[in-house]
Structure 1
Amino acid sequence: MDFIFRNARPDDLPSLLGLENQCFEHDRLSPRSFQWMISRAHASLIVAQSQGRLMGYALLLFHRGTSLARLYSIAIAPDARGQGLGKRLLAEAEQNAREHDCAYLRLEVRPDNPAAIRLYEGVGYRRFALINDYYEDHADALRFEKRIIQRPASAARQVPYYQQTTDFTCGPACLLMAMAALQPGRALARREEVQLWREATTVFMTSGHGGCSPQGLALAAWRRGFRVSLQVSVDGPLFLSGVRSENKKDVMRLVHEEFCNELQHSDVQQVRSSQLDIPRLLAEGGQPLVLISNYRLTRAKAPHWVLVTGCDEDFIYLHDPDIDHSRHRQALDCQHLPVSHAEFQRMSLFGGNKLRASVILHDTHQANGPNHG
């Protein structure tokens, strides 16, 4: 059987739904989901056509701003099986991901699908995680990954992941992950997430709750006995330009001044620099929290904290505590995200004043810091 591979079109929707019903009993994509994937999503839907019929599809999701793609679903019509179509669709998906500058492709598969597991393992995918109760029928999922641009293996650290539980606690969530990485077994608890936010917040937003400043996060980590260094490229309170109310600006200035006073009485190392040498920081045992422009990931113009988990000559790897469920992401989609060094340099600059900020935790407990348990 000869196949033609192409991108899906809106008029393919009835055939795609037919394939979905033939191939899956649970977790089927809805007509609305297919329409979204074809027309507007940051995705690629590849179909295999033979003699005017759709015989299979592969759906890729891309994580904006990163070099990571996810094979969300692959389906093959019953009368097209056994002809190598699965392997060919997978190859088409990998090529499509490369064309989108992706170096990694990840996917999930049911443990009771040995044919699919053999297919993935046979072309170089490695299992790296098990997700309990993943599918609609409560079946587990095996997580596989392949580096589709073959370069040296990742040096990403094994850092625990914690998803922020509010819109405004990305910084505390990253701080929780960093502390747990340096103190294995340390609890990742929402109570401490909120407490860290209370200690570190300084930013008034136009509406809703404020975020956390680098100074506030550095102090919160120092109070918990960590050796901390703080790197900020500009002086003064941050993000004032995004606030209209003079009263709010006055409060932000007061909070910032108090943080600076506290920092002077701590042994937090403060550096004013626009250069962020991630390889050096990691080599020295540091665990960096980095402020980025969320626009590079989500097209939302807002500051956002991420945690660096490792780097190699090609990529810097990040834990992003924010999971956007509307984009069909899972927690594992936001762990060890590969970002090129050039893209990381772009995303770690925020605003017109080119702010670059990082809070680096170290595994050596400070000798002079207070004992806060």
Structure 2
Amino acid sequence: MQIRSPHDSDLPALLALEQASFRNDRISRRSFRRWLRHRDCVFRVAVDGDTLLGYALVTLRRGTRLARLYSLAVDAAARGRGIAEALLGRVEQGAREAGALYLRLEVAEGNVAAISLYEKLGYLRFGLYEDYYEDHASALRMEKRIRPYTPSGDSRSLPWLPQTTAFTCGPASLMMAMAGLPGHYQPSPEEEIALWREATTVFMTSGHGGCHPLGLALAAHRRGFATEVWVNNEGPLFLEGVRDENKKRVMRIAHQGFVDECAASGITTHYSDIDQQQLTDRFSAGANILILISTYRMDSMKAPHWVTLSGFDDDCLYVHDPDMGNTSPHQGPDTARNPLDCQHLPIAREDFAAMSRFGSKRLRAVVVVAADRPPELD
């Protein structure tokens, strides 16, 4: 048996194995062709001469240290030879060499043999995704740290919510933050739009306006939460992406309105950078945190995007990303993400420093949301 990267000539055998292995959720010919050429994946096949015995496909989430086992199949006639274990070992190695720290997967709750194999190889259960497959079966969620580490910090349970439009990453992130704090806050699609209306900059490069950090802080303040803002630019934000002078004028007016209302509401605004220690100190003290990032390292689009901090350890900061990739007009259906690809994304600390700066002015913005007044921390 040989394990290698697949060739275009393997496509007919891959399709035949897929047809024989799965009744639902099969990978299409078009998708296999795409994965054969895709750079953000680790794809390996097991062969005996000209016979395909099995394959394993792992996808890599750009900009993060997360990999996901997308699919694994072994020919029924070849089972019992350790092929699945060998394939998993090779794709784990490939994901590790690509920089991934974690490998995640989902497996049908009733697939006892596969679950036993994953547990034997060190995968741990961390959740259940109900009604996951086309036949409405539930998926067990499993994860393995494929690089050793020493954990530290608070990785609390924080609800994950997807944004329902291309322009509501800020409201979705804020709903996660507020729903993860003590109290009775209830997120909803109606609330998502209401938050956007309260926090929008009105205009953006194209399409609907994004959300201003001060606007998000004000929206949380109106709902009874304590807020604190860190932003390293005092002037109007996001103007460099807008050419129309009248649009810029409106954005300046909106910005000044947010500034004045924050001052009147007693919301503390720090016009400076916040470092990772300050972020994790506030998180450990019980606050939830929204962070503005640039999506360039994730999708090469250079767009401002809000995410919510969900935990940290010595190597990474972890975030909930509300964007499932199916709301952007620039992305087709093949770019839609699994919800598991968007939760607790591990971002290496050295990468996070660059990712959390946006635009030519290297804008950094953070909104701290707490059930009570944020602690006085340096």
TM-score category by the smaller chain? over 0.9
Match 1:358 to one of 333, 344, 366: 366
Distance in structure 2 (CA, Å) of the matches to 1:24 and 1:164:
31
| Partner residue, 2:174 | 175
SS at match of 2:63: coil
Name which of structure 1's ranges 110-119 and 323-332 shifts more when overlaid on structure 2.
323-332
CA distance in 2 between partners of 1:203 and 1:47 (Å): 50
Aligned to 2:10: 12
Residue 32 (1) aligns with residue 40 (2): no
Once the two structures are superposed, the pairs formed by residues 148-227 of structure 1 within 5 Å of their partners are 148-153=146-151, 155-183=154-182, 185-227=184-226
Equivalent residues of 2:227, 2:373 under 8 A apart: no
Letter in 2 for 1:342: E
Show structure 1 runs of 4+ deviating over 3 A: none
> What SS does the corresponding residue of 2:310 show, helix, strand or coil?
strand
Write the distance in 2 (CA, Å) between the matches of 1:236 and 1:350.
15
Q: 1:299 corresponds to which residue?
A: 300
Question: What do residues 141-200 of structure 1 show as CA deviations (whole Å, max 9, x unaligned)?
Answer: 111111111212474220011111111110011110100111355212011111110010
CA displacement, residues 35-72 of structure 1 (integer Å, 9 cap, x when unaligned): 00011352121111112211110011111100000001
Contact 1:274–1:356 (CA<8 Å) still a contact in 2? yes
**TM-score computed with the length of structure 2 as normaliser:** 0.93
**Alpha-carbon separation, structure 2, partners of 1:185 and 1:85:** 50
Counterpart CA distance in 2 for 1:192 and 1:323 is 19
Cα-to-partner distance string for 1:211-234 (whole Å, 9 max, x where unaligned): 111111111111111111100001
> For 1:60-79, what aligned pairs fall within 5 Å after superposition?
60-79=58-77
1:370 counterpart residue number: none
Computed over aligned residues only, the root mean square deviation of the Cα atoms, in angstroms, reads 1.4
Partner of 1:344: 352
C-alpha distance in 1, partners of 2:336/2:104?
A: 14
Which of 113, 116, 138 is matched with 1:115 structurally?
A: 113
CA separation in 1, counterparts of 2:183 and 2:3? 48
**Displacement of 1:114 after TM fit?**
0.9
The letter of the residue matching 1:321 is P
Shift of 1:208: 1.7
For 2:138 and 2:60, how far apart are their aligned partners in 1?
Answer: 23
- Secondary structure in 1 matching 2:14: helix
Name the counterpart of 1:243.
242
Q: Paired residue for 1:283? A: 284
Query: In structure 1, how many angstroms separate the alpha carbons of the residues matched to 2:311 and 2:92?
Result: 24
**Counterpart of 1:46?**
44
One-letter amino acid of the counterpart of residue 315, structure 2 = D
The residue identity in structure 2 corresponding to 1:281 is: R
| Structure 2 contact 307–320 (Cα < 8 Å) conserved | yes
Counterpart-to-counterpart distance in 2, 1:17 and 1:328: 22
CA distance in 1, matches of 2:267, 2:361: 24
Deviations 1:216-269 (A, max 9, x none): 111111111111110000111111111010000000001111111111111211
In 2: Cα distance, 1:329 partner to 1:104 partner: 17
* Residue aligned with 1:172, SS: helix
Does residue 272 in structure 1 map to residue 287 in structure 2? no
- C-alpha separation between the residues in 1 aligned to 2:359 and 2:273? 13
Q: Identity percentage over the alignment?
A: 50
d(CA) in 1 for partners of 2:234, 2:119: 52
Counterpart amino acid of residue 210 in structure 1: G
Deviation at 1:5, TM superposition (A): 1.2
Answer yes or no: is the 8 Å Cα contact 2:2–2:48 preserved in 1. Answer: yes
- Contact map agreement 1:10 1:38 (CA 8 A) in 2: yes
Q: Give a deviation string over 1:110-130, Cα, whole Å, max 9, x none.
A: 122111010001111111111
Deviation at 1:92, TM superposition (A): 0.8
What TM-score results when the alignment is normalised by the length of structure 1? 0.94
Find the aligned partners of 1:303 and 1:259 in 2 and give their Cα distance: 19
Report the Cα distance in structure 2 between the residues aligned to 1:223 and 1:111, rounded to whole angstroms.
43
1-side partners of 2:56 and 2:106: how far apart? 13
Q: Is the 8 A contact 2:321 2:343 kept in 1?
A: yes
Check the 8 A contact 1:103/1:149 in 2, yes or no. yes
8 Å CA contact retained: 2:202, 2:254: no
Instruction: List alignment gaps of at least 5 residues for structure 1.
Output: 367-373
Contact 1:38 1:44 (C-alpha < 8 Å) held by counterparts? no
Aligned length: 364
Show CA shifts across 1:276-309 (max 9, x none).
Answer: 3322221222211000001121211110000001
